[in-house]
A and B are shown apart, each in its own frame.
Chain A
């Protein structure tokens, strides 16, 4: 195959950064845009952006029906998340445990822009470390169960990670991830979760439920994105961050608070990546002064990281992911593990994962009629 077409590779990112470009797309561009958006789980978001910019008229009808449909699905999912959050909050209230929502569920309950056109999966909550056991017990009484894990996986979660194994509701199958901090306990970054809990604030749609303070919310999402090893949802997460920054950025004092919190919470590098890549790839209006001040957070080899993230923060679609991108993704994958686990824990962990994979544990459908029970 010929060299990857740079413009095609950048299509979705370019459109998200400057939606006005939509007016100039050819039929072929629309074709590729929809495919890249599907691969990135950004179809509903794209619809939302198009509506916001009043550009529905420039979208061909054959494309718009997909966008509008996915957007309606996203609205329905957000509605379901609201309901499910209340069901999760109730037993925790009884247990006397304060609930702080993280990520997608927090965007919904705080009525923030990234809740628009987004898909949701798990409900992530942060509770004080001392309350984890009682929170888990009350959730189990209310119908959530942990998946059966072998001893290794159980230990992986409880001793090393920052959450208990996922809790799945026995009837509705909703998944709750109970966290007591936002980075793994084994990670290089040491973060005091109490600072986050202290700064948490009531959510817009239900003040009895809390969400992280604006700067903390952004830093948490950034840490998640840039220290994680998998980037199938990388561009989606970057787009979430872009919307959060555009939204909170209008509040006086937000940008300086963001830098101050990055210092306090020891999340300096994620803050640097966050500001650099949202501005670079999605045109986020980060003040020049903030970018300049953030330079002190830069990693050791910024140009290397630039190249890796430029490849990783693309749609996971064949038009964007060639050999080079796969190499970059592999390097970021090993970097993430290096950040999370010290070597003496990492090596046995990876060996075990590769053995389990070799045993063919992955489940895929058989062709025929699609399975309804999923």
Chain B
């Protein structure tokens, strides 16, 4: 774990930006030769525990987003994600370098973590109780996560839930939240004071921005949370406000298991850990067209007396 004191100056060596970032349970060494990306990392990851690139440090992962060299770069400037010489993605335009980095960090965590379960889900916490929000991308998970976070919930993650195999607690990442298309304006209205990147074209069409995580969530990134609720959100234009329906535990388990990376490799231990989470949690489906109504639904769910 990065325990070195935060250094005030950006760590640049030979025109390259490189920094050790303590992101929840992981230490990443992140480097880039693209100055605008370096600036965005400095802003978005401001407040994360850091260390100088020159320090002899252990990092769980060394990742980089760098310009693609060669003749083609004269015609088209491209950036590519790299982890120890492996490049899991096609290059993108340098203007999309941040998306490359964020997608690369997700990929790295999902593909290389074996000591806890990695679930495709958002996680927020209040008063020691965490909501796990499993959902496919584009279903309103990030929007609801961002909305809750700006109503006093602490951000653990908008994309990846990390569930301990030892004690079933959730670890935080508190990384920037990716918002697409209409949700950009929705969140800009809901959280007018938060900092977001300028929009960049998303690979699946439309635009994406990255929302800076709240300082409090970042400061508490090493604080874990106990799961208490599973809320599967789904954006649906034609529902009035938001509808919360109790969800059966087997359904919740199935949805979470399908969203767990390499679930079968964890064997019985993985199964029992996830079953433990579902067992301890009240589970709901929340279908919504209006963010405020969805946030209120979550408030009602989490404030009502517990029924087991």
Q: How far is the CB of B274 from chain A (nearest CB, A)?
A: 15
Contact B112 A367 (CB under 8 A): no
Interface residues on B, range: 35 or more
Known: A35-B84, A39-B84. A60 touches B58 (CB 8 A): yes
Is the CB–CB distance between B85 and A317 below 8 Å?
A: yes
Q: Which residues of B sit under 8 angstroms from A316, Cβ to Cβ?
A: 85
Q: Which residues of A contact B27 (CB under 8 A)?
A: 62
Residues A367 and B99 in contact in the complex (CB < 8 Å), given A62-B58, A372-B261:
yes
Chain A residues with CB under 8 A of B204: 366, 368
Chain A residues near B56 (CB-CB < 8 A): 26-28
CB neighbours (8 Å) of A369 from chain B are 103, 106, 120, 137, 159
- Say yes or no: B261 contacts A370, CB within 8 Å: yes
- B88's partner among A66, A69, A79, A365 (CB-CB below 8 A) is A365
Distance in angstroms from A223 CB to nearest chain B CB is 28
On chain A, the residues within 8 Å of B159 by CB distance are: 369
Taking A318-B84, A367-B100, A369-B159 as contacts, is the C-beta distance between A27 and B57 under 8 angstroms? Answer: yes
Is B114 close to A, CB under 8 A? yes
Question: If A63-B58, A73-B114, A76-B265 touch, does A368 touch B259 (CB 8 Å cutoff)?
Answer: no
Query: Known: A73-B114, A73-B262, A372-B120. Is A366-B89 also a contact (CB below 8 A)?
Result: yes
| Contact partners of A365 in chain B: CB under 8 A | 88-89, 107
Across the interface, name the chain A residue whose C-beta is closest to B82: A318
A297 close to chain B: CB less than 8 A: no
Give every chain A residue within 8 A of B92 (Cβ-Cβ). Answer: 367
User: What CA separation (Å) do A73 and B117 show in the bound complex?
Assistant: 12
A68 within 8 A of B: yes
In contact, B265 and A77 (Cβ under 8 angstroms): yes
Counting CB contacts under 8 A, is B229 at the interface? no
> CB distance A65 to B62 under 8 Å?
no
Q: Provide the residues of chain A in CB contact with B137, threshold 8 Å.
A: 368-369
**Option from B59, B114, B115, B203 in Cβ contact (under 8 Å) with A367:** B203
- In the assembled complex, which residues on chain A have CB atoms less than 8 Å from the CB atom of B57? 27-28, 31
Q: Is A364 an interface residue (CB 8 A)?
A: yes
A63 vs chain B, min Cβ distance (A): 7
Distance in Å: Cβ of A203 to nearest Cβ of chain B: 23
**Interface positions of A (Cβ within 8 A of B):** 26-28, 30-31, 35, 38-39, 60, 62-63, 65-66, 68-70, 72-73, 76-77, 79-80, 316-318, 321, 364-370, 372
A70 surroundings in chain B (CB, below 8 A): 114
B115-152 contact mask (Cβ, 8 Å, vs A): 1 or 0:
10000100000000000000001000000000000000
Check B60 for interface membership: any CB of A closer than 8 A: yes
Contact check, B103 vs A368: say whether CB atoms are below 8 A apart.
Answer: yes
The reply to whether B100 and A65 form a contact with Cβ atoms under 8 Å apart is no
| Nearest-CB residue, chain B, relative to A69 | B114
**B258 at interface, CB cutoff 8 A:** yes
Contact of A364 (CB < 8 Å), options: B59, B89, B111, B262: B89
Q: Which B59-117 residues sit within 8 Å CB-CB of chain A?
A: 59-60, 62, 81, 84-90, 92, 99-100, 102-104, 106-107, 110-115
In angstroms, Cα B88 to Cα A364, docked, is: 6
Partner of A66, one of B62, B84, B107, B115: B115
Residue B1 CB within 8 A of the other chain: yes
Cβ contacts under 8 Å, B113 to chain A: 69
Query: How distant is the Cα of A270 from the Cα of B258 in the complex, in angstroms?
Result: 45
Chain B residues with CB under 8 Å of A28's CB are 56-58
**A360 to chain B: closest residue by CB:** B90
Determine how close the nearest CB of chain B comes to the CB of A135; give it in whole angstroms: 28
List the 10 shortest-distance A-B pairs measured between CB atoms, nearest first: A367-B103, A69-B114, A65-B115, A69-B115, A370-B110, A28-B56, A318-B85, A73-B265, A31-B58, A367-B89
Contacts of B81 in A (CB 8 A): 367
Chain A nearest CB, measured from B23 CB (Å):
13
B267, CB-defined interface residue at 8 Å = yes
CB distance from B277 to the nearest CB of A (A): 18
